[in-house]
């Protein structure tokens, strides 16, 4: 643990306190039980898939942070929707949504509400949806693009970055060029206004680009306040005027130490079992553990 979160009156928590959060498609409230240092771990969800598509997998993020007793945080755990089961949570808005990001916020609201999204201090991105090919994995600083070739497909959706959403994929005909780009906190929706909807981009700090028909959508990007390379925004930012600061610290002053990002292509802890796994291939997850308390 970093020295800046150690004090002379800190001791290891006598009772191992852990709170876990599975996907419920609504935000969950966490009230800090004791002033101390906490380990926060998040797993983003995998994308939707149909017709033998291979969805992008979700990201793992973690970090240590000092929290004060009585503070309230809001946990949004991303979902993976299967086939045409409806709008996902914290991913994209279509009926073939990308994997939902999992994040922790200072202000509650609808998952896609900008004023809530901008209070996120940690985000684990979700993977892109897939139809017939591969969706892009959720990324660290940048999401991965979809990959593969289909008869109507020219390009797959690209991943979100620290300052912009992913670009929508393109097709061989105008009717296949109606996918959305990704947005701040939201993956692009596949084929807006079409009767045949393509896969959506993964959720994240910025969402991945979608595909309007068969193809692979991009994965979202991740964010940790204090992580080198992340690009935080100014508190004065609005949905129509997002102002990035070029540095990683969230405007709230909530900053993680020893932050970790593991993208959806690499080995990460398995929150639902022992050992590890290569990317998260199902719903998102979150875990908050009290590490030490101030006496």
The pLDDT value recorded for residue 263 is 99
What does the pLDDT read at residue 41? 99
DSSP for 182-200, written as a single string: PBBTBBPPSSTT-SS--PP
pLDDT tens readout for residues 124-160: 999 999 999 999 999 999 999 999 988 878 899 999 9
Q: How far apart are CA 261 and CA 124, in angstroms?
A: 8
The confidence score (pLDDT) of residue 154 equals 87
Residues in the chain, pLDDT under 50: 1-15
d(CA 218, CA 157) in angstroms, rounded, equals 5
Give the DSSP per-residue string, 238-274: BTTB--B-SSS--TT----EEEEEE-TTSEEE-TTSS
Place of tokens 């309230």: 72
- What per-residue confidence (pLDDT) applies to 150? 83
* Cβ–Cβ under 8 Å, residues 45 and 23: yes
Give per-residue pLDDT as tens, 198-220. Answer: 899 999 999 999 998 889 999 99
**CA-atom Rg of the chain in angstroms:** 18
The pLDDT of residue 152: 78
SS3 80: coil
pLDDT at res. 295 = 55
Q: Which two tokens stand for residue 293?
A: 């308390």
With H, G, I as helix, E, B as strand and everything else as coil, classify residue 40: strand
Q: How far is CA 56 from CA 12, 40, 276, 282, in A?
A: 38, 23, 18, 10
- Taking the C-alpha atoms of residue 97 and residue 263, their distance in angstroms, rounded to an integer, is 19
Beta strands in the chain (DSSP E): 10-22, 28-31, 36-43, 49-50, 60-67, 72-76, 102-105, 120-124, 130-131, 153-155, 170-171, 215-216, 223-224, 257-262, 267-269, 276-278, 285-294
């Amino acid at each position: 643990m970093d020295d800046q979160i150690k004090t002379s009156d800190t001791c290891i928590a006598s009772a191992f306190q852990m709170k876990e959060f599975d996907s419920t498609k609504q935000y969950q409230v966490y009230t800090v039980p004791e002033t101390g240092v906490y380990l926060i771990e998040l797993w983003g969800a995998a994308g939707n898939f149909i017709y033998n598509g291979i969805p992008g997998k979700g990201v793992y993020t973690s970090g240590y942070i000092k929290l004060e007793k009585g503070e309230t945080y809001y946990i949004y755990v991303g979902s993976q929707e299967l086939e045409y089961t409806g709008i996902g949570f914290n991913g994209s808005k279509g009926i073939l949504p990308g994997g939902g990001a999992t994040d922790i916020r200072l202000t509650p609201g609808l998952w896609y509400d900008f004023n809530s999204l901008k209070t996120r201090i940690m985000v684990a991105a979700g993977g892109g949806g897939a139809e017939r090919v591969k969706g892009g994995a959720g990324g660290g600083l940048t999401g991965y693009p979809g990959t593969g070739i289909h008869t109507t497909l020219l390009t797959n959706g690209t991943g979100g970055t620290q300052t912009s959403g992913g670009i929508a994929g393109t097709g061989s005909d105008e009717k296949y060029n109606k996918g959305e780009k990704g947005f701040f906190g939201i993956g692009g929706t596949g084929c807006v206004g079409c009767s045949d909807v393509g896969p959506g981009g993964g959720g994240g700090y910025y969402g991945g680009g979608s595909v309007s028909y068969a193809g692979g959508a991009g994965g979202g990007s991740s964010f940790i306040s204090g992580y080198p390379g992340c690009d935080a925004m100014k508190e004065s930012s609005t949905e129509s005027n997002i102002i990035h600061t070029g540095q990683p610290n969230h405007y709230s002053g909530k900053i993680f130490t020893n932050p970790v990002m593991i993208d959806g292509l690499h080995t990460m802890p398995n929150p639902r079992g022992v050992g590890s796994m290569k990317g998260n291939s199902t719903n998102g997850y979150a875990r908050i553990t009290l590490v030490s308390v101030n006496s």
